[in-house]
Amino acid sequence: MCGLLGLISPTEHDAGSAVNAVADALPCQRHRGPDESDTWHGGEVVFGFNRLSIIDLEHSHQPLHWGPPESPERYTVLFNGEIYNYLELRAELIEKFGATFATDGDTEVIVAAYHYLGSSMVGRLRGMFAFLVWDSERKVVFGARDPFGIKPLFYATGPGGVAFASEKKSLLALGSTLRMNDELDHRAFQHYLVLQYVPEPESLHRAVRRIESGTSFTVSPGGEVVTERYFHPTFTARQVSSDGEAKRLQDEIADVMRDSVAKHMRADVTVGAFLSGGIDSTAIAALAKEHNPNLITFTTGFERQGYSEVDVAAESAAAIGVKHVVRTVSAEEMMETLPLIVWYLDDPVADPALVPLWFIAREARQHVKVVLSGEGADELFGGYSIYREPLSLAGFERVPGAVRKAMGKVSTAIPEGVRGKDLLRRGALNLEERYYGNARIFRDDQLNSVMRGFDPGVSHQDVTAEAYRRSQGWDPVTRMQHVDLFTWLRGDILVKADKTTMANSLELRVPFLDPEVFRVASTVPQDQKITRETTKYALRQALHQIVPEHVINRRKLGFPVPIKHWLRDEMHDWARNIIQQSQTDHLLDRSGVLQLLEEHRSGVLDHSRRLWALLVFMIWHAIFVEGRITPQVPEPQYPVRL
């Protein structure tokens, strides 16, 4: 797990100034790779790299050069991630093409596969990745990002060229070299207030975009970035009409998960696992224990009733026989550390769970260098409670359209907080109108009270329209999953997983988000995912022999954070100070935000998630726009190699 930075200019660089600019920008992402750092210059291209060595520790240094025997240094590659089937792919390249390798790592396999298989090689990679390959003969950079968006890849353009990086901060540091526009993207800001994250390919800086998940690209010096989507997730439900067919499906799920975890355990360093207490992380830990009898698991929680999975996680750890480490987090620690975490994020993500995740990642790095985690299970197997909404709203579907619209108008007259208001409002909408992912922070009518320059022409459907178009004819639950793959998963879940762990130089691997696992999950029919009693039905049945009985049907918690209570008590004055000091009056109505805070404190309404989204943005603005807050970024204090 590493940090890459590549600069491609229209003309050949002045070697000194270009290399110096890249070298100066690299420390912004040193936490992603504290083991070693290097730069390379080749005409119009400068590559820089921060390495966190996981496989082939003594070799596979980057930037890495490779080529066929007739041109041994034709290619130069930067690679962030892990390829879990690199041994199998390496053997195939040797057998079919006589490929030669100087290292035992996976980086060479990527560039060799590109040479022999062309751009289609991305479909052969089983792993998480973002990479750049410079072909010095064709004068072109080819790159790609993994199918689900586990690893980030930003890019920025300007008259000075185009640059790619694992962290946006490094691109901002190259701003003068690129001569790029650093204005705030108001459209992306409005999307953030609705979704609690900035959706791909946007970022809050207009000149900085993101290569989307499942996308490859090419760019030549002086040319534009040309992208192509190579991964189109398709769900094709199988028929499960008998107990025997259901059992075969469950066995396939168990087998593919066992295989995925086995491949995700490949490393030359110590591997541990996050354990939240739910079925997903418990299954990963139990399967990992089969490969590492000395596995260590990690969990976090709060000293508040109902906001901690510490006890059940400890019970699960005892049941599967692993050493377990717990880290509790206080309100004071959250307030003190939040600016630093926002700096690591690059763009704001208003998910409170990322704060305890940062703390447990910091604790885990004292013991291991890699952790496995359960992200992706809910999107692939139907785990969110909101996926049961089509069942609860089925009655509305039988109501004539005009009547449903009338019901929606009636809901607007019902006061906020009254039970049934939101059910009536959502029941009056069709799926495309009402569902845009797990997070629903501000509705349009609520945004008007706090956002200056609110644009009614900007809609969540700008983000979800293509996913809905591609899923026409599928059942509603599967369409919701499909939308989440392009919104919630890559915008929130994977961003917070990557940023909080890499902030602590810890590699996080997600065995559920594996192409082979998706191949099986994509065939699960709706009634094997969602019932009136439970979610992830087929997965739960498949894991009966793997996880302890007490977690099979346990309600999902994740890492819940008690901000609802803290913003009324311990965090109230802190929040008020952030709002009063913020220099965002051109974007937000300060009085409207303060009114939300006081309404929340009095208990009139629960504004906790809306307030958190606003507070995180204000801190982000103070760091990246105002320059008023400068977090003290710590040097790595943990063992660099474990």
- Cβ partners under 8 Å of residue 588, min gap 6: 450, 451, 452, 582, 614, 618
Domain that holds residue 528: 243-335+342-383+493-552
As given in the structure block, the two tokens for residue 156 are 């920025």
- One domain, residues 49 and 147: yes
pLDDT at 295: 96
pLDDT at 559: 65
* Whether 600 contacts 606, CB under 8 Å: yes
Task: Tell whether 3 is in a known binding site.
Answer: no
Q: What count of residues does the chain have? A: 642
- One domain, residues 106 and 39: yes
Alpha-carbon gap, residue 219 to 226, rounded angstroms: 6
- One domain, residues 249 and 167: no
Instruction: Establish if 281 belongs to a structural domain.
Output: yes
pLDDT per residue as tens digits for the range 40-49: 999 899 999 9
- One domain, residues 258 and 190: no
pLDDT at 523: 98
The arrangement of strands across the sheet holding 36-42 comes to: 36-42, 45-51, 3-8, 161-165, 154-158, 208-210
Instruction: Establish if 543 belongs to a structural domain.
Output: yes
Task: Tell whether 373 is in a known binding site.
Answer: yes
Average pLDDT over residues 208-225: 97
Instruction: Establish if 391 belongs to a structural domain.
Output: no
pLDDT at 423: 77
The CATH code of the domain that includes 315 is: 3.40.50.620
The CATH code of the domain that includes 55 is: 3.60.20.10
* Whether 325 contacts 297, CB under 8 Å: yes
- One domain, residues 81 and 146: yes
- One domain, residues 187 and 263: no
pLDDT value at 599 more than 90: yes
pLDDT value at 52 more than 80: yes
As given in the structure block, the two tokens for residue 250 are 């469950």
pLDDT per residue as tens digits for the range 109-156: 999 999 999 999 999 999 999 999 999 999 999 999 999 999 999 999
What pLDDT band is residue 94 in, cutting at 50, 70 and 90? very high
Alpha-carbon gap, residue 621 to 633, rounded angstroms: 17
Of the three residues 536, 552, 568, the one that is the final residue of a domain is 552
pLDDT per residue as tens digits for the range 81-90: 999 999 999 9
- 271: helix, strand or coil: strand
Instruction: Establish if 367 belongs to a structural domain.
Output: yes
Q: What angle do CA 622, 628, 633 make, to 5 degrees?
A: 85
pLDDT at 636: 76
Which of 11-15, 446-450, 509-513, 543-547 has the least mean pLDDT? 11-15
pLDDT value at 302 more than 70: yes
Of the three residues 229, 262, 279, the one that is the final residue of a domain is 229
- One domain, residues 144 and 261: no
What pLDDT band is residue 444 in, cutting at 50, 70 and 90? confident
Between strands 370-372 and 507-509, the pairing is: parallel
Instruction: Establish if 561 belongs to a structural domain.
Output: no
pLDDT at 638: 65
Residues facing residue 81 across a β-bridge: 129
- If one counts the domains in the chain, the total is 2
* Whether 474 contacts 235, CB under 8 Å: yes
pLDDT at 248: 97
- One domain, residues 109 and 159: yes
Instruction: Establish if 325 belongs to a structural domain.
Output: yes
- One domain, residues 30 and 140: yes
What pLDDT band is residue 615 in, cutting at 50, 70 and 90? very high
* Whether 199 contacts 463, CB under 8 Å: yes
Average pLDDT over residues 94-100: 97
Give me the active site residues, please. 2
Q: What angle do CA 542, 548, 551 make, to 5 degrees?
A: 80
pLDDT per residue as tens digits for the range 156-185: 999 999 999 999 999 999 999 999 988 999
Instruction: Establish if 570 belongs to a structural domain.
Output: no
**Is 88 buried (19+), middle (13-18) or exposed (0-12) by CB count in 10 A?**
middle
pLDDT at 13: 61
What pLDDT band is residue 566 in, cutting at 50, 70 and 90? very high
The arrangement of strands across the sheet holding 127-135 comes to: 64-66, 75-83, 127-135, 140-145, 215-219, 226-229
pLDDT value at 307 more than 80: no
pLDDT value at 640 more than 60: no
- 80: helix, strand or coil: strand
Instruction: Establish if 616 belongs to a structural domain.
Output: no
Of the three residues 229, 256, 291, the one that is the final residue of a domain is 229
Half-sphere exposure of 2 (CA within 13 A, CB side): 30
Task: Tell whether 592 is in a known binding site.
Answer: no
Mean pLDDT of the chain: 92
